[in-house]
């Protein structure tokens, strides 16, 4: 599937999709190395260290898979191939962590392999990327249970 790549990262939520309970629909990737021994992580835009590429599924994207691959491009500068749907993961943040600007979300992650890492990408100025082992990734995601769940559903070697 050809990806529509621009050097412009999408911002805002005017085209954001929401589920039946008002939850924000978020799509993301667990980007694995070809041999499945490493996962590519990116620096969080806010505080919080390292995360998996993810973001809102927008109304002009037919599938969550398209949104996930776009997020991988914008945030990590990678072109990827989807291998499998890791399913829906509910938001596990406590209700006191949610606000009108940070609503409850429903996550859909996809296991992907990285076909190409570009040297320039839309969010390069605010995010680094790095390949890490399962143990390093699991430690980094300890405070993000929904991302840790996606990692654990992947076929990354433990």
User: Which domains occur in the chain, in start order?
Assistant: 24-153 (3.90.79.10)
3-state secondary structure string, the chain?
Answer: CCCCCCCCCCCCCCCECECCCCCEEEEEEEEECCCCCCEEEEECCCCCCEECCEEECECCCCCHHHHHHHHHHHHHCEEEEEEEEEEEEECCCCHHHCECCECCEEEEEEEEEEEEECCCCCCCCCCCEEEECHHHHHHHCCCCHHHHHHHHHCCCCC
pTM of the predicted model, to two decimals?
Answer: 0.89
Q: What is the pLDDT of residue 92?
A: 87
Question: Is residue 8 pLDDT above 90, yes or no?
Answer: no
Average pLDDT over residues 73-95: 94
């Amino acid at each position: 599937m050809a990806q529509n790549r621009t050097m412009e990262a999408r911002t805002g939520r005017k085209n954001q999709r929401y589920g039946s309970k008002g939850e924000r629909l978020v799509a993301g990737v667990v980007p694995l190395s070809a041999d499945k021994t490493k996962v590519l992580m990116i620096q969080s835009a806010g505080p919080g260290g390292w995360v998996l590429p993810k973001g809102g599924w927008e109304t002009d994207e037919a599938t969550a898979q398209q949104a996930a691959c776009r997020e991988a491009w914008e945030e990590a500068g990678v072109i990827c191939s989807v291998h499998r749907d890791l399913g829906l993961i509910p938001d596990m943040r406590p209700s006191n962590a949610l606000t009108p600007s940070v609503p409850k979300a429903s996550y859909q992650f996809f296991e992907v392999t990285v076909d190409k890492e570009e040297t320039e990408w839309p969010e390069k100025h605010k995010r680094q990327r790095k390949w890490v082992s399962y143990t390093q990734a699991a430690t980094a995601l300890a405070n993000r249970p929904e991302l840790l769940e996606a990692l654990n559903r992947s076929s990354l070697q433990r």
